[in-house]
Amino acid sequence: MRLFRGPAPLLLLRFLAALVTQMDAAKQPPAVRQRYIHFLNQHRDNSNANTGGKYCDKLMAKRGLTRPNCKNTNSFIHATDSAIKDVCGNKGEPYGNLRLSCDSFRVTTCKLRGGSNRQPCKYTHDNRPRHIVIACDQGYPVHYDEGKVIVNRGRKCRRR
């Protein structure tokens, strides 16, 4: 006998994931909390990393990155909040004033197609594994550096 049918189990899982994210975000001082939640909204998508088709068009709109104008470039890291947060700790190392991940992540970078930043927004995507470069504040990621695409580090991470 099945207790759940249809989309209910998936919706429940998404609700619980959002609740856990909010509970984790509530642990920081207010200045860090807002920046951390903003980072998660803009750069974390813990869904399946198979992002063909209209993935970028849909997710950029859903996250509010197409209003009032289409954002030119945005990247989504396909990992859990805690996996990304670990880059601020022992799963990352200093990279100037930022942190470079020891392990690679699946990242989808959405780039605006065409010359206009007005709607409708149409995006291309690049979905390669890479090491991420982030800024951290009090142990929480608050900024993703889109300009640093490091596919192969060439050496092992010096863990602290």
Closest residue by Cα to residue 96 from 131, 133, 132: 133
Direct distance between the N- and C-terminal alpha carbons of the chain, in angstroms, rounded to an integer: 50
Instruction: Please say if 131 is a catalytic residue.
Output: no
Count how many Cα atoms sit within 13 Å of the Cα of residue 80 in the half-sphere of its side chain.
6
Closest residue by Cα to residue 142 from 90, 81, 94: 81
DSSP string, 17-58: HHHHHHHHHTTS-HHHHHHHHHHHHHHB--S-S---TTHHHH
pTM for the complete prediction? 0.79
Instruction: Please say if 143 is a catalytic residue.
Output: yes
The predicted structure's pLDDT at residue 40: 96
Q: Distance between CA atoms of 158 and 160, rounded to whole angstroms?
A: 6
The predicted structure's pLDDT at residue 132: 95
The list of the chain residues with pLDDT below 70 reads 1-26, 48-51, 159-160
The predicted structure's pLDDT at residue 50: 67
Q: Which of 43, 78, 125, 131 is catalytic?
A: 43
The predicted structure's pLDDT at residue 107: 93
The predicted structure's pLDDT at residue 110: 94
56-66 burial string, b = 16+ CB within 10 Å, else e? bbebbbeeebb
Helix or strand or coil: residue 64?
coil
Name the amino acid, one letter, at 131: H
